Amino acid sequence: MSDYTVRRLSMYYRILDELERESDDVVSSASLARMTGTNSAQVRKDLSYFGNFGKRGRGYSVSDLRERLRAILGLDRQWNVLLVGAGHLGSALFSYKDFAKRGFHIVGILDNDPEKLGRSWDGIAVNAISEAEEVVARTGAEVAVIVTPAHAAQEVIERLTRAGVRGFLNFAPIKPETTEPVRVRNVNITIELEGLAYALQHDELTRPSL
């Protein structure tokens, strides 16, 4: 299944969550499409990869579709997450409420800054990176969020991979090289801003009167 499809499933899931809170009980592919910025054929195709969830002439049951997407996305269980990097961004992610809401629980924190070592955040201790293996074993972390400086990221990803972590959400501005069968998603804030700069500059040049 392509990443494009999975991303959209996440968006549908979020909308269904809202619709359920608003007590809507049915939704059409057209209105899901409008709310997620795509088109109805796309919605139907995305969902049809996983089954026939809709009723012709009527649409999709909100609560049923929501439950199915929850299972498809793997959100019907808890995911133990290791936070690597206890700087500003790490601390912001630690307090990000949506993670827990979706089943992602931060069970360990790693950092090498002596200032931070030994402290604890909401009862979670900050451990040294040299203790990575022990922390992974103790907490059963399957996923790591990497918010270290760029130069530290590659090494820590390799080390955690060997320790058994299989999924990485990487905020460091590098493209990690991986050997083992491991899943990596890169989030690169600078690249997104540069994309904006490119687009704005280009608009100016091509539509100078606007």
Partner DNA sequence: CGCTGTGAATGTATTCACAGCG
Partner DNA sequence: CGCTGTGAATACATTCACAGCG
Catalog residues that contact a copy of itself under the rule CB under 8 A: 1, 3, 6-7, 9-11, 13-14, 35-37, 72-75, 79, 87-89, 91-93, 95-96, 98-99, 102-104, 142-143, 166-169, 173, 175, 181, 183, 185, 187-203, 207, 210
Closest CB to DNA among residues 3, 122: 3
Look at residues 118, 107, 110, 105 and name the one whose alpha carbon lies nearest to residue 87. Answer: 110
- Token pair recorded at residue 165: 């972590």
Which one of residues 2, 23, 190, 206 is an interface residue with DNA (CB under 7 A)?
2
Closest CB to a copy of itself among residues 122, 210: 210
Tell me the DSSP string of 93-146.
HHT-HHHHHTTEEEEEEE---TTTTT-EETTEEEE-GGGHHHHHHHHT--EEEE
Contact 169/185 with Cβ under 8 angstroms? yes
Provide the minimum distance between the beta carbon of 63 and a copy of itself in the complex, in angstroms, as a whole number.
19
Closest CB to a copy of itself among residues 37, 123: 37
- Is 10 a binding residue for DNA by CB under 7 A? The answer is no
Give CA–CA dist 73/46, Å, rounded: 13
Provide the minimum distance between the beta carbon of 65 and DNA in the complex, in angstroms, as a whole number.
9
In three-state secondary structure terms, 82 is strand
Provide the minimum distance between the beta carbon of 5 and DNA in the complex, in angstroms, as a whole number.
6
Provide the minimum distance between the beta carbon of 199 and a copy of itself in the complex, in angstroms, as a whole number.
4
Residue 181 touches which of a copy of itself, DNA, none (Cβ within 5-8 Å per kind): a copy of itself
Give CA–CA dist 132/163, Å, rounded: 8
Closest CB to a copy of itself among residues 7, 138: 7
Closest CB to a copy of itself among residues 22, 196: 196
Residues 25-54 interacting with DNA (rule: CB under 7 A): 28-30, 38-42, 44-45, 47-48, 52-54
Give CA–CA dist 128/139, Å, rounded: 15
Give CA–CA dist 52/150, Å, rounded: 45
- Token pair recorded at residue 13: 């899931």
